[in-house]
Copies of this chain bind each other. A is one copy, B any other.
Amino acid sequence: MLYGALEAGGTKMICAVGNENGQILDQVSIPTSTPDETMPKVIEYFKSKLDESLPEDDRIIAVGVACFGPVDVRPNSKTYGNILYTPKIPWRNFPMVKTLKDALNIPVGFDTDVNGSLLGEVTWGCAKGLTDAVYFTIGTGIGMGAMSGGNLIHGMLHPEAGHIAMSVVQGDNYAGHCPSHGACFEGMAAGPALEERWGKPGRELADMPEVWDLEAKYIAQAVTATIYMLSPQKIILGGGVMGQSQLFPLIRKYVLEDINEYIDTKELRNINSYITPAALNGNQGIMGAIKLAEMATIE
């Protein structure tokens, strides 16, 4: 079976065709400008993949969308499938699912970008077979995808764990970068905060241990809060900032210090596999979108 997959990001739309094994067979990237400019190209791509001139086995049967947010993922909502109050003004209230369904006339699966990445990792990556897992992307912003009992977490909206408050580390005088919250997780630890605090982008700070020690303390706070709130079986850390792999041992150390033996589980005793990088080489989001498409054919 072939599925269309759309990883809808703030700067680019990755459109792909994949199969039920998560293999990506074709892929293009389209810049994200305005819906009027971008969506016709996205639709054109997927239309070409279900054209009746193709042999039936070569046509996609559904599309999955892992979308930047906030988005409405509540199936019974009147605005299900819409992008909500995003700072990207032209996309505010854009009906992503309706637009694709109307144009393509096939089932459309839909979730947040980070839930998509998590779904990719749970289906084919480092969290394969787990029912409770979390994926943080730490880059220009910070997002969290979460699964509990085998279901991606939605609820009232969907998690926005990039905005949990941080306890400011002693000696850190940085006020935080988040326009809504100042010193929240994203405000203290996302890429722009690194750059503003230290005067250079993260990739130019690789040889400064104090940068990554402080960064690890904030990430560890968020990871620890996640353990107490969600009790996941695995926590995956991805995104540009986590390209600094020196962060992982520091984060693991500070998480264990923060928990201070209050929780005793085999997962925490195997902290190296508990707090872990993404395994799908940057394809977790688009692979998750393939899975969302497959799930849409079942619903």
Contact = CB atoms under 8 A, between A and B. Distances in A.
A155 B148 contact: yes
Most interface-central of A153, A226, A261 (chain B CB within 10 A)? A153
A148 B229 CA distance: 12
Contacts of A221: 165
Nearest to A178: B262
Given A180-B261, A181-B260, A229-B225, A153 B161 contact: no
A55 interface: no
A144 B231 CA distance: 12
B159 A149 contact: no
A82 interface: no
A162 to B, nearest CB: 8
Contact of A180 (B155, B163, B231, B262): B262
B164 A229 contact: yes
Contacts of A260: 180-181
Contacts of A164: 224-225, 228-229
Interface string A219-257: 001001111111111000000000000000000000000
Interface in A46-99: 70, 84-85
Interface stretch (A20-28, A202-210, A263-271): A263-271
A215 interface: no
Given A156-B265, A180-B261, A264-B84, A228 B149 contact: no
A155 B149 CA distance: 7
A168 interface: yes
A165 B228 CA distance: 10
Contact of A165 (B144, B146, B154, B258): B258
Given A180-B261, A225-B229, 13 more contacts: A148-B148, A148-B151, A149-B149, A153-B231, A154-B231, A156-B232, A159-B231, A160-B228, A160-B263, A161-B228, A167-B168, A180-B260, A225-B225
9 contacts: A132-B155, A132-B156, A153-B231, A156-B268, A157-B231, A165-B224, A166-B167, A180-B262, A225-B225
Interface of A: 70, 84-85, 131-132, 144, 146, 148-168, 180-181, 221, 224-233, 258, 260-265, 267-268
